[in-house]
Amino acid sequence: MSDIDIRKSGRAGRITLTRPKALNAVTYEMCLAIEDALDAWRDDDAVALVIIDAEGDKAFSAGGDIQKLYETGRAGDFAYGQKFWADEYRLNAKIREYPKPYVAFMQGFTMGGGVGISCHGSHRIVGETSQIAMPECGIGLVPDVGGSLLLARAPGRLGEFLGTTGTRMGADGSVLCGFADFFVPQQDWADLVATLEDSGDPAVIAAASRPPSPGKLNPQMAQADAHFGGESLRDILNSLRADDGEFVRNALKMMGRNSPLSMASAVEMIHRLRRPGATIRDALELEYRFTYRAMEHGDFLEGIRAAVIDKDRAPDWQHDLDNPPTMAATKMLMPLGDNKLTFDKEG
């Protein structure tokens, strides 16, 4: 497949995304190919670990390829998207639960679907250019691909802040919030990959890592805790509007661009997943409730139209921030009954 290079090299199973001009956006076919490789390598004694990386300087992967999702949804075909998300989420769970080390090198942008194939790995490496984010509320979705679980486990109320604003994390913030484990200078990545291929031992990563330069997120934690600790999106907005300052102005500006329904749902999801013992499957099953309904009942198609198709950046959301949609968000997260996510692979 021209979009992805899957091979064995030394003691490593290698997966390289090869769509740098498309910022390595992950297609449906790429997800299926990664899953097939992981299934083949699970019991292959020649493969000691898996390495996933990407070509190009700008992005490991800036997200999922949403063009076909939009086209099918606009045509009234919701089943394609529902199957796409079910298969993608099965892959995300498989990465989190994989019995062998799974090493991800994340340069540049790592967002949305890119997070799902990297940030659930056992060894997650960032460098100087890394920018990780969950910006899905800006297109009428919610932080998904298991990202809701990572947000729920972030320190304090940074999860709600990151999920509703789509704020990007640099290397320092990515480690702080549990989206990455190691900072390794990018000039050292090629040598580290070669060592991993030769040794099959992920312990060499720690020896190559360094402390990242201090970022912007850690100093913002106290303000995130102060304003994003409410029970609902309405509480968060009331707290922000009662204050002033750069942090508050920036947060309200970013939230003002996003779907109120998506942000209200994201807050509820993060709160539910903060309970002890929540698993990747719990998160993906909850996310699927939203994405299953996103085309027909959510803001997804309008969000894609405004951001990707017409590029007018003027989405006509169903709700507004003066009356945050708490009940509508709860409805989006109701159980799906027979349509519940099962993690079963067909065929």
Q: Where does the pLDDT of residue 330 fall: very low under 50, low under 70, confident under 90, or very high at 90 and above? A: very high
Task: Judge whether 346 lies within some domain.
Answer: no
Q: Is 137 exposed, middle or buried (0-12, 13-18, 19+ CB in 10 A)?
A: buried
What distance in Å separates the CA atoms of residue 101 and residue 272, rounded to the nearest whole number?
Answer: 29
- Domain containing 328: what range? 4-339
Section 151-174 average pLDDT: 98
Report the number of distinct structural domains present in the chain: 1
What pLDDT does 346 receive? 74
Name the band, by pLDDT with cuts 50, 70 and 90, for residue 2. Answer: confident
| Cα 75 to Cα 183: distance, rounded to the nearest angstrom | 44
Taking alpha carbons only, the member of 286, 287, 283, 285 closest to residue 300 is 287
Residue 83 tokens, joined? 């199957």
User: Is 108 part of a structural domain of the chain?
Assistant: yes
pLDDT in tens, 290-311: 999 999 999 999 999 999 999 9
3 state SS of 53: strand
347 belongs to a structural domain: no
User: Residue 125 — left, alpha, or beta (φ > 0 → left; ψ -120 to 50 → alpha)?
Assistant: beta
The answer to whether residue 130 scores a pLDDT higher than 60 is: yes
pTM value surpassing 0.95: yes
Amino acid at 282: D
* CATH number, domain containing residue 81: 3.90.226.10
pLDDT, tens only, 206-260: 999 999 999 999 999 999 999 999 999 999 999 999 999 999 999 999 999 999 9
What digits encode the pLDDT tens for the residues 33-71?
999 999 999 999 999 999 999 999 999 999 988 888 999
What is the phi-psi region of residue 140: left when phi exceeds 0, alpha when psi lies from -120 to 50, beta otherwise? left
